[in-house]
């Protein structure tokens, strides 16, 4: 149950109450930012090597290579107010012939020191040069970082000074004929660049390199070819020294696919955006398709977002530090902007609402909003926007609300009629989104526990990743689990929970003023056999408005689960006595190991019987699906044992005979102990 204040609990026992409904809408996406790109500027000509960084005070600095080997820079003090002409005005920093026109170009910045560094490769492709600026207007004389002998060529440069790493990563490719092929790192010593230090891994077909500040070092993303010729995206870490870490594969493409990766970008989490951001271009003989990917864990690159009209050499995506949620997409010739609007307070516009939350199934929320002024346009209330819903009451000491699980808009429908123009929003919750998300490729990670797999399901709708154990029943390792293309993540989450005998549920953090943001969404697993958290019906308790109950046998009265530890079973003794016969069900799951875990799985199968009744009460905003409640009204005759909440339905109307009502679909916990 969600935390509820004593004053609010006392209000539930009063004969007359004043309901309070809070609704806020934020233009925030699920899993990743809700990018809505619009083009700001475009120039004719091919897109070549290019980079961009943000300086102190929100200044944007860009650099690009031209076809004749010149380097040009651009400085904009405010990207949001810059005129179109400013995006197409460049200043030549290095003349023609200074740089390899096809070679890498890198900009790094460190805002606390108010400086940026520019790196490029001379025309011969073996000497790395650099310059420094404090404001993007005046630059230091060019210096040399390092030089390499033939046949090696510098094909990649990467670095990020935001965390003070002061490291430069260099990628060499001599066509497979040079033992120096691979990665090298140079560290800034205060007076100059130190000697390059090799990773010690010979890499073939190096086609991309990027790095992002992480701690006191760098997280490096590289594209190369593996021993069998497969195209790979690989992660590596570099610490002070420089000291190299252990590489690990992030994504692969079979040799026969003809694909190759390039145009890389990596951005580790920050306080403002606590997610890893990856960018890469997947090239084939037919096309080059750029992608962006967002993930809470560095190695979990399972979902990607394709970009339309993107540069085939890759782009730089920057989350600008100005007000609001502002993102910039920049290539050498074009610029896009994605700017989210501010959160909307919609509480005063709510005419009515109806929500339905079943256990571990797709949720549904319908909101009817007053739009007589026509202010709720598609731009202000877009599809995919996050909705926070708070339920509570107006108390003598003030209004108290409790945030309900999160919602996202999936359908909008303007309706004309009485009392005027109304906007109906259809929303879905975390389980609804997990049913919509389907794996694009096979996902198979050996050695993960059931709890780690469950987190791989829920992080798509949740800002929370738990480092410790979730539940003892989820500690088992599942060696052969694979998510196949087209399989939805909700189905996997349900199977994992059923095998462990637990329920996964989502919530909104109660300490947030508007309940919005990915970090506001929390997830957790609960054991359904806990004691009651609320009671209805008796004196001093919230009263029942209506109730309906029926007794019926379950789909099965005896369940046997065959797993890695042999068999385990559970019986519904109450149904066995009532029906007088054994209705057997056998489940085979070799991934379930341990007698205790198999018994929990058997009990969970028994619990899948449909709800046998419901009660209508004054809405209790703290109740959650999976909670246990007691029905103590003597007329109902249901006080023998507590009930589990299988679904919660809430209806609210600003005017009407039943302004505020909550329906709880209930079932009895299955008694599975020894008979007698």
By C-alpha distance, which of 121, 115, 171, 157 is closest to 140? 115
Q: Can you give the pLDDT at residue 146?
A: 94
Classify residue 623: in a domain, yes or no: no
SS3 label, residue 60 = strand
Classify the C-alpha dihedral 320-324-325-329 as positive or negative.
Answer: negative
Scan for tokens 């429908």, then name that residue.
413
Beta strand 643-653 pairing with 660-667: antiparallel
The burial class, CB within 10 Å (0-12 / 13-18 / 19+), for 547 is buried
Number of domains in the chain: 2
Beta bridge partners of 112: none
Classify residue 413: in a domain, yes or no: no
Of 591, 608, 625, which residue sits at a domain end? 608
Any residues with CB less than 8 A from the CB of 6 and at least 6 apart, and which? none
Q: In whole angstroms, what is the distance from residue 162 CA to residue 214 CA?
A: 9
By C-alpha distance, which of 164, 262, 266 is closest to 220? 266
The answer to whether the beta carbons of residues 542 and 536 sit under 8 Å apart is yes
Classify residue 57: in a domain, yes or no: yes
Classify residue 356: in a domain, yes or no: no
Any residues with CB less than 8 A from the CB of 85 and at least 6 apart, and which? none
Asked if residue 133 has a cis previous peptide bond (ω within 30° of 0), the answer is no
Q: Within 10 Å of residue 597's Cβ, how many Cβ atoms?
A: 24
Of 585, 608, 631, which residue sits at a domain end? 608
Q: Can you give the pLDDT at residue 672?
A: 44
Asked if residue 242 has a cis previous peptide bond (ω within 30° of 0), the answer is yes
Any residues with CB less than 8 A from the CB of 467 and at least 6 apart, and which? none
Any residues with CB less than 8 A from the CB of 463 and at least 6 apart, and which? 274, 296, 517, 518, 519, 520, 521, 522
Beta strand 167-172 pairing with 305-306: unpaired
Length of the chain: 676
Range of the domain at 577: 553-608
Classify residue 544: in a domain, yes or no: no
φ, ψ of residue 7 in degrees (nearest 5): -65, -40
Classify residue 10: in a domain, yes or no: no
DSSP calls for 370-392? E-TT----TTTS-TT-EEEEEEE
Beta strand 584-588 pairing with 558-563: parallel
By C-alpha distance, which of 176, 182, 245, 235 is closest to 210? 235
The answer to whether the beta carbons of residues 481 and 499 sit under 8 Å apart is no
Q: In whole angstroms, what is the distance from residue 2 CA to residue 6 CA?
A: 13
SS3 label, residue 646 = strand
Q: Can you give the pLDDT at residue 669?
A: 63
Of 563, 583, 608, which residue sits at a domain end? 608
Measure the CA angle with vertex 512, ends 471 and 530; round to 5°: 30
Cα-based distances in Å from 213 to 33, 219, 316: 21, 6, 15
Classify residue 641: in a domain, yes or no: no
Q: How many CA atoms lie within 13 A of 130 on its CB side?
A: 22
Measure the CA angle with vertex 521, ends 517 and 523; round to 5°: 165
Mean pLDDT by 10 residues, the chain (676 residues): 89 88 84 81 85 90 94 93 92 95 91 86 92 93 92 89 81 78 90 91 90 91 91 93 92 85 90 86 84 88 76 82 82 88 89 95 96 91 92 92 94 85 95 90 84 89 78 86 90 89 88 80 81 81 82 65 66 63 66 60 60 85 91 73 89 84 83 46
* Residue 300 belongs to domain with CATH number: 2.120.10.70
SS3 label, residue 205 = strand
228-265 b/e (C-beta count within 10 Å ≥ 16 → b)? eebbbbbbbbbbeebebeebeebbbbeeeeebbbbbbb
* Residue 585 belongs to domain with CATH number: 3.30.1920
Classify residue 71: in a domain, yes or no: yes
Q: Within 10 Å of residue 279's Cβ, how many Cβ atoms?
A: 24
């Amino acid at each position: 149950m969600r935390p509820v204040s004593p004053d609010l609990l006392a209000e539930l026992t009063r004969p007359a109450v004043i309901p309070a409904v809070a609704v806020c809408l934020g233009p925030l996406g699920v899993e990743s930012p809700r990018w809505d790109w619009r083009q700001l500027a475009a120039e004719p000509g091919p897109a070549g090597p290019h980079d961009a960084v943000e300086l102190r005070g929100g200044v944007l600095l860009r650099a690009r290579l031209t076809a004749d080997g010149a380097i040009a820079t651009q400085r904009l003090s405010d990207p949001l107010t810059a005129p179109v002409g400013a995006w197409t005005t460049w200043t030549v920093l290095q003349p023609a012939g200074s740089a390899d026109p096809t070679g890498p170009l890198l900009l790094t910045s460190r805002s606390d020191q108010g400086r940026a560094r520019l790196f490029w490769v001379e025309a011969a492709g073996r000497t790395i040069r650099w310059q420094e600026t404090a404001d993007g207007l005046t630059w230091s004389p060019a210096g040399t970082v390092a030089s390499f002998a033939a046949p090696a060529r510098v094909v990649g440069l990467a670095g990020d000074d935001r965390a003070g790493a002061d490291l430069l990563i260099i990628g060499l490719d001599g066509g497979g004929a040079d033992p120096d092929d691979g990665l090298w790192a140079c560290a800034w010593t205060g007076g100059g660049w130190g000697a390059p230090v090799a990773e010690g891994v010979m890499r073939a077909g190096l086609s991309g390199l990027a790095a992002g500040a992480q701690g006191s070092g760098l997280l490096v993303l590289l594209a190369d070819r593996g021993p069998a010729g497969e195209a790979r995206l690989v992660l590596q870490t570099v610490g002070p020294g420089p000291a190299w870490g252990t590489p690990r594969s992030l994504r692969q493409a079979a040799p026969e696919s003809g694909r190759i990766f390039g145009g890389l970008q990596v951005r580790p989490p920050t306080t403002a955006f606590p997610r890893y951001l990856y960018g890469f271009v997947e090239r084939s003989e037919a096309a080059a398709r750029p992608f962006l990917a967002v993930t809470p864990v560095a190695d979990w690159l399972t979902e990607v977002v394709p970009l339309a009209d993107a540069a085939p050499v890759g782009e730089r995506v920057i989350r600008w530090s100005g007000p609001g949620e502002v993102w910039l997409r920049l290539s050498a010739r074009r610029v896009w902007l994605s700017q989210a609007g501010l959160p909307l307070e919609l509480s005063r516009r709510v005419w009515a609402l109806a929500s339905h939350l079943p256990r571990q199934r797709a949720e549904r929320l319908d909101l009817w909003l007053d739009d007589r002024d026509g202010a709720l346009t598609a731009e202000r209330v877009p599809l995919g926007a996050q909705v926070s819903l708070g339920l509570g009451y107006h108390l003598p000491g003030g209004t108290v609300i409790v945030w309900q699980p999160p919602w996202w808009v999936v359908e909008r429908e303007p309706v004309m009629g009485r009392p005027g123009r109304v906007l109906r929003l259809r929303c879905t919750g975390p389980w609804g989104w997990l049913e919509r998300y389907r794996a694009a490729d096979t996902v198979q990670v050996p050695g993960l526990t059931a709890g780690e797999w469950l987190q791989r399901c829920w992080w798509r709708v949740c800002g929370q990743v738990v480092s410790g154990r979730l539940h003892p029943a989820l500690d088992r390792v599942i060696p052969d689990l694979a998510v196949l293309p087209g399989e939805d993540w909700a189905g996997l989450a349900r199977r994992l929970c059923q095998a462990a005998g637990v329920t996964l549920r989502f919530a909104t953090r109660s300490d947030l003023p508007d309940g919005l943001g990915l970090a506001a969404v929390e997830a957790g697993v609960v054991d359904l056999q806990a004691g009651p958290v609320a009671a209805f019906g008796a004196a001093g308790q919230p009263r029942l408005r209506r109730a309906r109950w029926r007794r019926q046998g379950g789909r099965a009265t005896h369940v046997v689960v065959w797993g890695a530890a042999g068999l385990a079973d559970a019986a519904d003794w109450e149904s066995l006595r009532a029906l007088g016969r054994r209705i057997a069900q056998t489940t085979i799951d070799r991934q379930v190991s341990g007698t205790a875990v198999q018994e929990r799985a058997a009990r969970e199968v028994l619990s899948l019987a449909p709800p046998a009744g419901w009660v209508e009460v004054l809405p209790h905003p703290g109740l959650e699906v999976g909670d246990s409640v007691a029905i103590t009204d003597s007329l109902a005759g249901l006080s023998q044992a507590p009930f589990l909440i299988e679904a919660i339905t809430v209806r609210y109307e600003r005017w009407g005979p039943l302004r505020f009502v909550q329906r709880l679909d209930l079932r009895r916990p299955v008694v599975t102990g020894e008979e007698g």
